[in-house]
C-alpha cells in the first residue's frame, strides 16, 4: 500500500525521474553514455504512444458526417494498428477491418483510420479497443449495423510468458444487422479475407 509520503514523492517526481529510477532498479547506470538521454526519449515516446487520451473520438467523427442515400456495405480494411497492452505496457499490433451499412449518413473514409488511432493510442486491451471502435461509429451515425474485426500480435505473448512467436489474437464486435443477420456477417468476413484484389 502506498503511504501519503510515498504518494507525495511520486507526484513531485518528473516522468524522467521515474524512468531513471527504473533504469537503476533494472541494474543499470543511468549516467552511462547510452542511457543519459533515455529518460527524456522515453517520456517523449510515451507522450506519442498515449496521445489518444487527449483526443475526442466522437467530436472528430462529427466533423466528417455526410448525408447520402447509399445503403450498401462500406468497408475499410487492413488498417494498421499499434497499441500498448495495459497489463505489461508492451506493444501489440496488427490490422483492423471496419464495415457498416449506412442509414442515411456516412463517415468520411479517412476518419475511420483516425478513429482507430485515437483509441489505439491509449493503454488498451484488444477486446475493449474492438468494442470502442464499433460503438463510437454506431453512436455517431446510427447505421443499420457495424462490424469490426481486429487481428493482432502481442509482444507480451511473443517476448515473455508463453513466448509463442506466430500466435495472433482475433477479436470482433458486431452490432445491429451484423449481429442479427448471418448473411450480412458472412459477407463482411468473406470480403475482409479476400486478398485476390491485391489491396
Assign residue 73 a region (left: φ > 0; alpha: ψ between -120 and 50; beta: otherwise): beta
* Residue 154 designated active-site: yes
- CA dist 66 → 55, 94, 95, 107, 189 (Å): 22, 29, 26, 6, 26
Catalytic residue among 47, 86, 127, 142: 86
Of the candidates 183, 192, 194, 92, the residue with the CA atom closest to the CA atom of residue 149: 192
Catalytic residue among 97, 117, 124, 126: 126
* Residue 156 designated active-site: yes
Catalytic residue among 135, 138, 156, 181: 156
* Residue 177 designated active-site: no
Strand partners, 99: 75, 147
Of the candidates 192, 48, 41, 199, the residue with the CA atom closest to the CA atom of residue 120: 48
Catalytic residue among 28, 87, 127, 142: 87
- CA dist 18 → 1, 35, 45, 91 (Å): 18, 14, 14, 20
- 3 state SS for 11-26: HHCCHHHHHHHHHHHC
* Residue 144 designated active-site: no
Catalytic residue among 124, 132, 144, 154: 154
**Burial label, 115 (beta-carbon count in 10 A; 0-12, 13-18, 19+):** buried
* Residue 181 designated active-site: no
Answer yes or no: are the C-beta atoms of 136 and 55 closer than 8 Å.
no
Catalytic residue among 85, 97, 117, 124: 85
* Residue 88 designated active-site: yes
* Residue 85 designated active-site: yes
All three cell numbers of 47, joined, read 507522450
Catalytic residue among 55, 88, 151, 181: 88
Write out the catalytic residue numbers: 85-88, 126, 154, 156
Amino acid at each position: 500500500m502506498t503511504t501519503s509520503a510515498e504518494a507525495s514523492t511520486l507526484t513531485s517526481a518528473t516522468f524522467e525521474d521515474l524512468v531513471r529510477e527504473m533504469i537503476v532498479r533494472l541494474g543499470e547506470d543511468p549516467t552511462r553514455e547510452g542511457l543519459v538521454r533515455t529518460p527524456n526519449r522515453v517520456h517523449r515516446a510515451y507522450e506519442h504512444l498515449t496521445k489518444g487520451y487527449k483526443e475526442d473520438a466522437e467530436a472528430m467523427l462529427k466533423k466528417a458526417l455526410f448525408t447520402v442515400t447509399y445503403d450498401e456495405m462500406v468497408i475499410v480494411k487492413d488498417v494498421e494498428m499499434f497499441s500498448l497492452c495495459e497489463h505489461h505496457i508492451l506493444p501489440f499490433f496488427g490490422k483492423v477491418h471496419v464495415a457498416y451499412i449506412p442509414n442515411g449518413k456516412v463517415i468520411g473514409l479517412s476518419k475511420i483510420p483516425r478513429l482507430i488511432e485515437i483509441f489505439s493510442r491509449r493503454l488498451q486491451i484488444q477486446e475493449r479497443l474492438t468494442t470502442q471502435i464499433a460503438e463510437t461509429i454506431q453512436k455517431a451515425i446510427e447505421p443499420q449495423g457495424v462490424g469490426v474485426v481486429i487481428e493482432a500480435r502481442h509482444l507480451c505473448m511473443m517476448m515473455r510468458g508463453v513466448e509463442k512467436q506466430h500466435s495472433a489474437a482475433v477479436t470482433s464486435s458486431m452490432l445491429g444487422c451484423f449481429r442479427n443477420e448471418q448473411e450480412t456477417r458472412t459477407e463482411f468476413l468473406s470480403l475482409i479475407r479476400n486478398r485476390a484484389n491485391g489491396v
